[in-house]
């Protein structure tokens, strides 16, 4: 098997020239033809396939991920994404016609063309180092953009493998990787981009957004969240426990969209805690540390951060709590807390910590969830239909899984993204194409139409104005109180409140009373 190359940071002084090279490639128009895009995507597919073993090894080295998890959430995910894109690209890239067009407007052949945004910068995060970097990258290629990827330095093996794959598979003038940490990313941000796609913390997201604003560069921000799970007294305690535990043991809880805390109705709390214990022993019969299926915290800094969160909590550890810093092992840990201000609820843990906060009823749970963060990345209500609908209708979030932990985020063709403080913009499936695409409205004015166009040229004579008003105005199908009116009124253009309409209505009423 090939070796994982060492990670070498890109020389700071070379970054402007690299960015300019990729921009020149876009300006040469080479990345626009569909055939070119599809060919690049397919080459990336085989690059990933041929280096699958290296990717599995890299994710094991960086995050202790099991091969199954890496296949499922990283390689397999990207491979399927490429096949999906390559099969659907022609459809996505087709010109669209606007909806509800007046007949006269059709004469101008209006269409919405899907133009590539240009040259884009993609900044990846460490927890799913391949998927969160190559997912947007696949979108950028599909849209006809040229791109630079800056992988997370916190997953160095995966970063190096991606650089190898991209260099070996893709057109190097249009697609390349810049490696590094804050100084290198800052140097990249000093260049001009047509979009910056960032995945990571809200703190750094704010830095990116501020910098981008200086040059009016659009951003997509995929940020974190203090995501609540809510368990009502009607929920199935065993299902809730198994599903929420799964969402916190996958990737050792380093999942942006996993629940950060669990609000549990006091009535079901004992059953839920009992089932958590059962599920933990079912998932890891020999204990999590001995299991080949349980990952590790990415590095000592993140381990210390999680340890500090746990130390600062005034909650009571009910399950787990074992740590081994040398092994970067942190056992899935259930903590009963008594306040939403507890460190485990008030901050995003991004690790295998499961704070449980008892509540008296669903209203209290919804109130707390909206106070902790009113726009998290995900929300996970467990209960009957009426209760889960109530949660959805009284909260906001990037996405939601009913009676599950983050399942919505595992459907690869659903748009994935945050709202408010958990991010802006979405990708995956068709959305990956759209997020790097500009919808360019285009019309073509034929020469023969000039006579009809006379109406738009000065002088604006009363005759022209009258003719235009007659042609232009759409009659409303609502009255001045906002109530819908029958189609006959709107078609006849009477308006419900007009004198004529009132007289006609009175006449009709009188007739029907006869």
Residues of the shown chain interacting with ligand NAD in the complex, contacts defined by CB under 6 A: 123-127, 132, 150, 152-154, 181-182, 185-186, 199-201, 204, 207, 222-224, 256, 348, 350, 377, 418, 423
Q: Which residue has the tokens 């910068």?
A: 121
Q: Which is nearer to ligand NAD, 346 or 494 (CB)?
A: 346
Q: Which is nearer to ligand NAD, 268 or 377 (CB)?
A: 377
To ligand NAD, the closest distance from the beta carbon of 311 in angstroms equals 20
To ligand NAD, the closest distance from the beta carbon of 77 in angstroms equals 13
Measured at the CA of 82, the angle between CA 10 and CA 429, to 5 degrees, comes to: 105
The whole-angstrom separation of Cα 240 and Cα 244 is 6
Whose CB is nearest to ligand NAD? 224
Cβ atoms of 164 and 151 closer than 8 Å: no
Secondary structure element (H or E) that encloses residue 281, with its range: helix 269-283
Query: What are the structure tokens assigned to 408, written together?
Result: 């919505």
To ligand NAD, the closest distance from the beta carbon of 14 in angstroms equals 17
The verdict on whether 312 is a catalytic residue reads: no
The verdict on whether 371 is a catalytic residue reads: no
Residues 6+ apart with CB under 8 A from 221: 198, 205, 208, 209, 418, 423, 424, 425
Tell which residue, 226, 233, 228, has the closest CA to residue 244: 228
Q: Which is nearer to ligand NAD, 127 or 403 (CB)?
A: 127
Query: What are the structure tokens assigned to 57, written together?
Result: 């090894």
Q: Which is nearer to ligand NAD, 181 or 500 (CB)?
A: 181
- Of 69, 74, 222, 348, catalytic: 222
- Of 59, 78, 145, 256, catalytic: 256
The whole-angstrom separation of Cα 435 and Cα 103 is 31
Name beta bridge partners: 113: 440
Q: Which is nearer to ligand NAD, 86 or 154 (CB)?
A: 154
To ligand NAD, the closest distance from the beta carbon of 349 in angstroms equals 10
Cβ atoms of 162 and 149 closer than 8 Å: yes
Q: Got the DSSP string for 78-133?
A: HHHHHHHHHHHHHHHHS-BPPSS--HHHHTT--EEEEEE--EEEEE--SSSTTHHH
Q: Which is nearer to ligand NAD, 89 or 121 (CB)?
A: 121
For 12, 292, 322, 509, the CA distances from 289, given in Å and listed in that order, are: 40, 8, 9, 81
To ligand NAD, the closest distance from the beta carbon of 223 in angstroms equals 5
Cβ atoms of 246 and 354 closer than 8 Å: no
To ligand NAD, the closest distance from the beta carbon of 166 in angstroms equals 16
Backbone phi, psi, residue 15, to 5°: -65, -45
Cβ atoms of 78 and 134 closer than 8 Å: yes
The whole-angstrom separation of Cα 357 and Cα 314 is 12
The whole-angstrom separation of Cα 439 and Cα 92 is 12
To ligand NAD, the closest distance from the beta carbon of 351 in angstroms equals 10
Strand locations in 218-332 (E): 219-222, 228-231, 261-265, 316-319, 323-324, 329-330
Q: Which is nearer to ligand NAD, 74 or 222 (CB)?
A: 222
To ligand NAD, the closest distance from the beta carbon of 222 in angstroms equals 3
Q: Which is nearer to ligand NAD, 411 or 442 (CB)?
A: 411
Catalytic positions, written as ranges: 222, 256
């Amino acid at each position: 098997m090939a070796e994982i190359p060492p990670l070498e940071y890109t020389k700071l002084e070379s970054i402007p020239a690299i960015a300019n090279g990729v921009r020149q490639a876009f300006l040469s128009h080479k990345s626009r033809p569909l055939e070119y895009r599809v060919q690049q995507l397919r080459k990336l597919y085989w690059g990933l396939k041929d280096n699958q073993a290296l990717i599995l090894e890299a994710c094991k080295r960086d995050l202790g991920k099991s091969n199954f998890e890496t296949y499922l959430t990283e390689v397999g995910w990207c491979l399927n994404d490429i096949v999906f894109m390559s099969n659907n690209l022609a459809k996505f890239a087709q010109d669209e016609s606007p909806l509800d067009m007046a007949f006269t407007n059709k004469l101008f052949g209006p269409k919405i063309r899907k133009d590539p945004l240009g040259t884009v910068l993609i900044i990846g995060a460490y927890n799913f180092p391949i998927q969160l970097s190559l997912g947007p990258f696949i979108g950028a290629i599909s849209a006809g953009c040229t791109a630079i990827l800056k992988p997370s330095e916190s997953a160095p093996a995966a970063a190096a493998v991606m650089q190898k794959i991209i260099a070996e598979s893709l057109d190097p003038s249009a697609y390349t990787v810049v490696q590094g940490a804050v100084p290198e990313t800052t140097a990249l941000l000093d260049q001009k981009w047509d979009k910056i796609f960032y995945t990571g913390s809200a703190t750094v997201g704010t830095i990116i957004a501020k910098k981008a604003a200086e040059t009016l560069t659009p951003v997509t921000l995929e940020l974190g969240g203090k995501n609540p799970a809510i368990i009502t007294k009607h929920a199935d305690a065993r299902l809730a426990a198994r599903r929420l535990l799964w969402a916190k043991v996958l990737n050792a809880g380093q999942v942006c969209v996993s629940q950060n805390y669990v609000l549990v109705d006091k009535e079901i709390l004992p059953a839920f805690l009992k089932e958590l214990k059962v599920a933990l022993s079912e998932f890891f019969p020999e204990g999590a540390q001995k299991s080949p299926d349980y990952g590790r915290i990415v590095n000592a800094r993140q381990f210390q951060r999680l340890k500090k969160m746990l130390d600062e909590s005034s909650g009571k550890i009910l399950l787990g709590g074992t740590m081994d810093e040398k092994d970067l092992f942190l056992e899935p840990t259930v903590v009963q807390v008594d306040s939403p201000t507890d460190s485990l609820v008030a901050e995003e843990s991004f690790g295998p910590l499961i704070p449980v906060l008892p509540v008296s009823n669903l209203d209290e749970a919804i109130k707390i969830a909206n106070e902790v963060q009113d726009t998290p990345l995900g929300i996970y209500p467990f209960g009957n239909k009426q209760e889960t609908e109530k949660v959805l209708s009284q909260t906001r979030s990037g996405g939601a899984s009913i009676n599950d932990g983050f399942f919505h985020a595992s459907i690869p063709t659903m748009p994935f993204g945050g709202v408010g403080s958990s991010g802006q913009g979405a990708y995956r499936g068709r959305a990956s194409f759209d997020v790097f695409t500009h919808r360019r409205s285009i019309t073509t004015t034929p020469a023969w139409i000039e006579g009809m166009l006379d109406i738009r040229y000065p002088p604006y004579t009363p005759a022209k104005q009258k003719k235009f008003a007659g042609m232009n105005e759409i009659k409303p199908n609502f009255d001045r109180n906002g109530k819908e009116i029958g189609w006959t009124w709107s078609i006849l253009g009477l308006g419900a409140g007009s004198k004529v309409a009132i007289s006609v209505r009175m006449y009709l009423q009188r007739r029907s009373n006869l």
